[in-house]
């Protein structure tokens, strides 16, 4: 990556996409390195399906580059929010379009669905238990929990991505954590001993 680009804002980097020189690809490379880990994490944790993830992940970044080259992102004032919003839409569309995921979508709409307890685990399986518990969260709670705890987005950013009020986001994230704790506690009475 070009070191000169590291201090340039996302919005300025996007404008460089149109440059008819190597600056175009270097600007893209800089943006990619900024957001690729967290967006991959988002897709990976939210969809938990490698068949989807590769498509979505590549489509997202290539679409961003294509739009940038065409100058269609010049008026974006919050690239990070735009990027996550795009990822959110891609993920939901993919889920909607896939027959196998119909039930998953239904449960996304009904976030009051109760989750089952899981089997006993031990200290060494903490991360595995967390992953299992995360999978058992209703998708609506799961997504915002990932955005908040894995991607470290602010409540406001999440609110903009999910089209909800900030207060709602805050409450739902806490609910998600509470449910996560509940699932993990059912599995092993003492979470703290596992970590």
Residues within the interface to other proteins (CB under 8 A) = 17-22, 24-25, 28-29, 32, 36-37, 40-41, 44-45, 50-51, 54-55, 57-58, 61-62, 65-66, 69, 110-112, 126-127, 130-131, 149-150, 170-172, 174-175, 177-178, 180-181, 184-185, 191-192, 194-195
Residue 20 burial class via C-beta count within 10 angstroms: exposed 0-12, middle 13-18, buried 19 and up: exposed
Residue 24 burial class via C-beta count within 10 angstroms: exposed 0-12, middle 13-18, buried 19 and up: middle
* Closest CB to other proteins among residues 85, 170: 170
- Rounded to the nearest whole angstrom, what is the least distance from the CB of residue 11 to other proteins in the complex? 19
- Rounded to the nearest whole angstrom, what is the least distance from the CB of residue 73 to other proteins in the complex? 14
* Closest CB to other proteins among residues 56, 77: 56
- Rounded to the nearest whole angstrom, what is the least distance from the CB of residue 86 to other proteins in the complex? 15
* Closest CB to other proteins among residues 8, 150: 150
- Give the sign of the dihedral formed by CA 172, CA 193, CA 189, CA 121: positive
- Rounded to the nearest whole angstrom, what is the least distance from the CB of residue 93 to other proteins in the complex? 16
* Closest CB to other proteins among residues 66, 120: 66
Closest of 96, 91, 77 to residue 9, by C-alpha: 77
- Rounded to the nearest whole angstrom, what is the least distance from the CB of residue 3 to other proteins in the complex? 18
* Closest CB to other proteins among residues 77, 94: 94
Cα(120)–Cα(9) distance, rounded to whole angstroms? Answer: 48
DSSP labels for 72-121?
TTTT-S-HHHHHHHHHHHHHHHHHHH-GGGHHHHHHHH-TT---------
């Amino acid at each position: 990556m070009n070191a000169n680009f590291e201090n340039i804002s996302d919005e300025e980097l996007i404008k460089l996409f149109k440059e008819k020189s190597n600056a175009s690809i270097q600007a893209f490379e800089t943006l990619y390195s900024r957001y690729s880990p967290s967006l991959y994490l988002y897709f990976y944790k939210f969809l938990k399906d490698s068949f989807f993830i590769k498509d979505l992940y590549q489509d997202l970044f290539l679409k961003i580059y294509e739009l940038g080259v065409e100058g269609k992102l010049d008026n974006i004032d919050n690239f990070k929010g735009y990027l996550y919003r795009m990822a959110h839409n891609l993920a939901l569309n993919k889920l909607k379009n896939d027959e196998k995921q119909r039930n998953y979508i239904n449960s996304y709409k009904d976030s009051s669905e109760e989750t089952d307890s899981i089997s006993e685990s031990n200290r060494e399986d903490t991360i595995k238990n967390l992953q299992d518990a995360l999978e058992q969260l209703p998708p609506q709670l799961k997504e915002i929990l990932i955005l908040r705890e894995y991607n470290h987005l602010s409540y406001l950013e999440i609110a903009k991505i999910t089209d909800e009020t900030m207060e709602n986001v805050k409450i739902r994230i806490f609910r998600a954590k509470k449910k996560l704790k509940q699932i993990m506690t059912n599995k092993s009475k003492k979470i703290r001993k596992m970590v």
